[in-house]
Structure 1
């Protein structure tokens, strides 16, 4: 696998210089949600929890806990590539991090991450702040297992 430079990403998927970071695509905060009910993961499917949207006007103070964050950026991962998301180091230094699944070849949409706040005093985030960067990797070739799942094309109004 090869990690793509920002210049490679720009030519591959046509992003502006402002959308790129030192090692990937900037992912900025659009919306924060708090899970309100139990989620279920079963062999034959899933039941997602209900969520409450937090209003950031433009700042949000978050207590320690788990939050779902939606990113502003609509991203398309080409076949033959995959993505991994890494938190900003400043987020880590505040006692918080982002967890995410693999961004599969063929996925496109406004992705989400799990924001975990470990700082007992909490953190404060401003809407549209950069939380993470998406790093793209070139696979050994295209795959017949391109993403076609439930979240393909996910987008928040």
Structure 2
């Protein structure tokens, strides 16, 4: 796992959120599901979503027993030869809020999107810009490069 010094070199876009062993990731927008979806024979039919409105203080209210999609501030570029694992912040877990994530593949560039669930019996308030997850980075030997449907175009030189 990479530490603070290496993270600063590889991820200058996260300079203000780099921790000793990871990168804090902050809430940008939260979305509610409005339709169903499916995954059949690797054909993705994603549910439609709509942005959850926050109040005038940029605070979202998460309903009990409800799942939401959340995007993370900024674009993430994972260099080839590295992978990211995303872990929830313990404060959320202690508050009955779970964050569901996936693996960040080498070469991925784009907006990170996770699922956040209020598993509790009560509403939960979450302010835009709060840290909800931490990315930990590992070297990967013999890796290829992500070229999936969630890849966004970028101006970053490949392999950098």
Give, in angstroms, the shift of residue 124 of structure 1: 0.5
- Unmatched tracts of structure 1, length 5 or more: none
Count of aligned residue pairs for this structure pair: 151
CA offsets 1:79-100 (integer angstroms, 9 cap, x no match): 1111111111111111011111
Helix, strand or coil: the match of 2:103? coil
Task: Give the corresponding residue for 2:149.
Answer: 150
Task: Give the corresponding residue for 1:95.
Answer: 96
State how far apart, in whole Å, the 2-side matches of 1:131 and 1:85 are.
10
State how far apart, in whole Å, the 2-side matches of 1:78 and 1:124 are.
34
State how far apart, in whole Å, the 1-side matches of 2:69 and 2:102 are.
13
Task: Give the corresponding residue for 2:86.
Answer: 85
- Unmatched tracts of structure 2, length 5 or more: 155-160
Q: TM-score, normalised by structure 2?
A: 0.88
CA offsets 1:80-134 (integer angstroms, 9 cap, x no match): 1111111111111110111111100111111000101101102100011111111
Q: Over the residues paired in the alignment, what is the CA RMSD in angstroms?
A: 1.7
Give, in angstroms, the shift of residue 16 of structure 1: 5.1
State how far apart, in whole Å, the 2-side matches of 1:12 and 1:114 are.
26
Helix, strand or coil: the match of 1:84? strand
Poorly superposed stretches of 4+, deviation over 3 Å: none
Task: Give the corresponding residue for 1:30.
Answer: 28
Give, in angstroms, the shift of residue 154 of structure 1: 7.5
